[in-house]
A and B are shown apart, each in its own frame.
Chain A
Amino acid sequence: MRDRSLDMDGGSVMAGSMYDRIIRINCEKNSGSIWNVPDDLKSYVGGMGYGTKLLLDEVNPKTDALSPDNKLILTVGPLTGTSAPLHAQSCVVTKSPLTDTILNCYAGGFIGAEIKYCGIDGVIFEGASSDWKVVIIDDDKVSFEDAGPVMGMGTEETESWMKEKYGAGYKTISIGRAGEKLVRMASLFSETRTYGRGGAGAVLGSKKIKAVAFRGTCGADLADTDEFSRLVKENMSVIKDACGQEFNLVGMFSRFGTGAGMGLVQSRGALATRNSQFGSFDSSDAISAQNYEKDFYTRWVSCYGCPVHCGRVHKFSTHDGGSSWARGPEYETMYSLGSQLCNGDPDVLAEANRLTEVYGVDSLTIGVTISLALECAEKGLIKDPDLKLEFGDPLSILGLIKKIGDREGIGDILAEGPARAAEKIGGGAIDFAMQVKNSGFAAWMPRRMVGTGLAFATSNRGACHKRAPIGAEITGQVDMLSFDDKARMVKKNQDVVNSIFTLISCRFHEFMTPHDYYPGFIRAASGIDLRLDEFYALGERIWNLEKIFNLGAGLGREDDILPARCYTEPVKGAVSESSVLDYDRWQDMLTEYYSLRGWDYDGVPQAAKLESLGIAHYAGQD
């Protein structure tokens, strides 16, 4: 177990939780080297901050996301691998082949801590290998090996093979067949946890890297161990208290998993059903978390260091009479492969969820793409020689996952993502492709939750629910149908979440923890002094850097838009109040949002705003 002081010029540098070292992996040369983090990057704290600045500085926004010129940046933050609860996540930033925007996506589990224990703050994958490889990272030593034996394998199978071959202590990130075949919604997987959105799996696939295994012996240091332990103790007490409350949202997740709120969403007429035509689903009870807990073998599991334990491992029956197990489905998947497809069978839902892990695809975007395909078939726009393509039909759902994952038949078109597929299918399909920037809707209905809709439309990575006022709207804290004050709420949410994604906090952490804890945590862990207002400003700065990248990639105001269904078709269903968005009011809200951001009518950040955020030198860059 390596003594860190050996790396530190005689140990003169104060130990903190950031190692200030990143491994650059040259995929073309099959080699890796240590790169020392420069001071201007250190001010971005870590996680998403590091990834965003690095991508903007090093990758031309016009680069083809699947070309060797794109980079895939994997980062951790100052709280990763420490005892701070709910900080298991690690972050991937790259140019997305799905949305053509900058992408940041996150996975929990144990991989983040293992990366930190390698004595590094991240890894940058550059170029592309000529042959398929697996990459082994032992602390800071990098080796490449032939991926031949694992090609075509599912993600879990790949991980098992890696553990068997290299040792049980390794934590692996891998792609499935979808990533190998450059399916634009392919994800990266680590022990079922997924860097889900935006097609990062296809980017790693384009570099011909099937899997990356990490094993670290360095541990994590703290700048002020006593103060850090004190903060952790207090924070644990806050979290345990929240988890013990009957109506606390995270408390419900703790007891039932992330699907605990399905009943609430259904009761508010906001459970997207049948390709978002309806706001409620007759069989929602059958696929709810409470039902899985009641009727299925269930084990509670956690990500690294997390007392909430929202993970659920279930055993279930497969459609061919066999049995299997899965971690999940999580709430978002209960929608995307459940209600959205009129799939009310919890076994089929669990099997579909499992299949997305085998093929290595984002369960959200693939669900939305399937719901588009099923409606297209209903309207006579497409058909398939093997599948009925009907809502609620298990074989259609499972069959389409396989066909998309293998780019087989109709799956080859659908593998391009919902908007690209709809354009190709024609017949007005684009109007009911429930996506923004080609990324499938997360589990919420913009017509029922106006602020969340604005968050979907303005997200820099497309239809994103991670930075949306979901809690406030779904619980009725604010009027879900009102346009008032939503632009301000969304901007604040985006900036705050971007700031905590430098650490990298789980979203649920911020639900329970007073924000003034964050500066204390950062100081005690890494030694970086940052006031809370500076921390929030960092989030806004990162948001603007993302926007600059996207403008450079050629996106504009016309891309910050929801599909036509949201402005033209009222939501059907018992409690949905026939909701539909008024297009003119929507555009006014978008203009208000841009103005609050200090952007012009077209969404271009103004010089004064960039100046105030300390990034004036990025002005006019594209």
Chain B
Amino acid sequence: MRFVVDTEKCTECGRCTTVCSLTKEGRIQPLSARIRITRRWPETPLIAVCRFEDCPGNPCIESCSFDAIKLIDGKVEIIEDECCGCSECVSVCPFDAIKMNDESLKAFKCDLCGGEPACVAECVTGALIWTEEA
């Protein structure tokens, strides 16, 4: 399964970010969402979310000197307890999908909600799709 992102269809409503923060943090706080929409009017927006299935070489894993990023059951995950906050992974991610928590100073990113991403269900235009197709 993988994310397919169609920026042409994105209306920048940000429902994906609201529901992401609600799912992951228990409250609405788009800053802590694992997906980010950046507006570029009049052009299409940037949609930043972890797309490790399509990521050449998963450079975040290599970049982490503390083995805090691992491939587990076919998914790239950040082990929060082992993250030292160096933010090396943030700078190498080709999808700009890893963020730093201002308070805990740990890296965080999308974990695909265990296989059913909450953001996809919220997207009314089909800009975000979760599919088995390549």
Contacts and interface: CB of A to CB of B under 8 A. Distances in A.
Q: Is the interface of B mostly helix, strand, loop or mixed?
A: loop
Given A1-B101, A225-B22, A229-B22, A300 B15 contact: no
A218 B102 CA distance: 12
B18 A83 contact: yes
15 contacts: A82-B28, A217-B102, A218-B29, A219-B27, A219-B28, A219-B29, A220-B27, A221-B28, A225-B26, A243-B124, A304-B13, A304-B14, A309-B125, A311-B11, A313-B42
**Chain B CB within 10 A, most for which of A82, A220, A315:** A220
Contact of A313 (B14, B29, B41, B101): B41
A167 B118 CA distance: 29
A299 interface: yes
Contact of B41 (A82, A110, A218, A325): A325
Contacts of B15: 83, 85, 305, 307
A1 B28 contact: no
Q: Give the 10 A-B residue pairs with the shortest CB-CB distance, closest first.
A: A219-B29, A302-B13, A325-B42, A309-B11, A302-B11, A307-B124, A220-B28, A83-B18, A300-B11, A313-B42
A303 interface: yes
B81 interface: no
B85 to A, nearest CB: 15
A307 B13 contact: yes
Contacts of A309: 11, 13, 124-125
A222 interface: yes
Contact of A315 (B18, B22, B42, B101): B42
A467 interface: no
Interface string A292-317: 00000101111111110101011100
Interface string B19-45: 101100111111110000000011010
A217 B31 contact: yes
B6 interface: no
B111 interface: no
Contacts of A240: 124
Nearest to A116: B28
Given A1-B103, A307-B13, A299 B28 contact: no
Q: Is the interface of A mostly helix, strand, loop or mixed?
A: loop
A305 B14 contact: yes
B17 to A, nearest CB: 9
Interface string B83-107: 0000000000000000001110000
A306 B13 contact: yes
B42 to A, nearest CB: 4
Interface residues of B, number: 25
Contacts of A218: 29
A441 interface: no
A1 B125 contact: no
A102 to B, nearest CB: 32
A535 interface: no
A214 interface: no
A177 to B, nearest CB: 22
B103 A222 contact: no
Given A219-B25, A302-B11, 17 more contacts: A1-B103, A82-B18, A83-B15, A117-B31, A217-B29, A220-B28, A225-B26, A243-B124, A297-B42, A299-B44, A302-B14, A305-B14, A305-B18, A307-B124, A309-B13, A311-B11, A313-B42
B25 to A, nearest CB: 8
Contacts of A313: 41-42
Contacts of B26: 225
Contacts of A220: 27-29
Contacts of B27: 219-222, 225
A327 B41 contact: yes
Given A1-B101, A225-B22, A299 B29 contact: no
Nearest to A325: B42
Nearest to A168: B38
Contacts of A303: 13
Nearest to A309: B11
Contact of A219 (B12, B32, B44): B32
Interface in A175-190: none
Interface string A202-222: 000000000000000111111
A240 B103 CA distance: 38
Contacts of B101: 1
Interface in A54-99: 81-83, 85
A291 B119 CA distance: 33
Contacts of A85: 15
B55 to A, nearest CB: 25
Contact of B28 (A222, A300, A306, A315): A222
A1 B42 contact: no
A1 B29 contact: yes
Nearest to A229: B22
A592 B105 CA distance: 65
A305 B13 contact: yes
A113 B14 CA distance: 11
**Chain A CB within 10 A, most for which of B13, B22, B27, B30:** B13
A217 to B, nearest CB: 6
Contacts of B124: 236, 240, 243, 307, 309
Nearest to A219: B29
Nearest to B32: A1
Contact of A302 (B12, B32, B42): B12
B28 A81 contact: yes
**Chain B CB within 10 A, most for which of A222, A305, A306, A327:** A305
A81 B28 CA distance: 8
B96 to A, nearest CB: 13
Given A83-B18, A83-B19, A240-B124, A299 B31 contact: no
A314 B41 CA distance: 10
Contacts of A300: 11, 125
B92 to A, nearest CB: 21
A85 B18 CA distance: 11
Contacts of B103: 1
A306 to B, nearest CB: 5
Contacts of A169: 31
A218 B30 CA distance: 10
A1 B33 CA distance: 12
Interface in A571-620: none
A226 to B, nearest CB: 11
A222 B25 CA distance: 13
A14 B23 CA distance: 20
